Amino acid sequence: MRLADGFAAPLQVDAALLAGLPRSHVEASDHGRPARWEGVALGELLSKAGAPTGKQLRGAALNLCLRFSAADGYRIVLALAEFEPDFGNAAALLADTRDGKPLNANEGPYRLILPHEQRAGRWIRQLERIDLLDCASAPAAPTARRP
């Protein structure tokens, strides 16, 4: 798994790197199934990769978003500010274990857990890559046509 494009210090994430970072856990349900998820807080990795934080997250930096990409091509985008204590302060975990066991091949080796969300639709499985993008410079989506 990599924190790649857009980061000041791109980062290859592996078990050795995670072993050197503080571990966290959350209790959260995945499609109605309660579980204990363990891993590293996303903020730890973002900081290590050089993403703007604290007082750096102002002005144009508020247009930054994170694109999470899975092995199967599934992608989600979240604003960087969602995870900053002065803004959204949302908890996010890069999980590598569930209920004390390594994630299975269908989920892992890494999964993004967003315990504050009511649905697990953005809990991306088999996470392979995180990119930091300027969402303000992205082209607008085509306008949906109504029948």
Structural domain including 69 reads 2-135
72 domain residue, yes or no: yes
DSSP letter string, 48-104: HTT---GGGSSGGGGGEEEEEEETTS-EEEEEGGGGSTTTT----EEEEEETTEE--
Mean pLDDT by 10 residues, the chain (147 residues): 94 94 94 93 95 89 94 95 86 96 96 90 95 85 61
92 domain residue, yes or no: yes
pLDDT given at position 31:
83
| Domains in the chain, number | 1
pLDDT given at position 146:
54
18 domain residue, yes or no: yes
The domain spanning residue 82 has which CATH number?
3.90.420.10
Helix (H), strand (E) counts: the chain: 2, 10
pLDDT given at position 23:
96
pLDDT given at position 40:
97
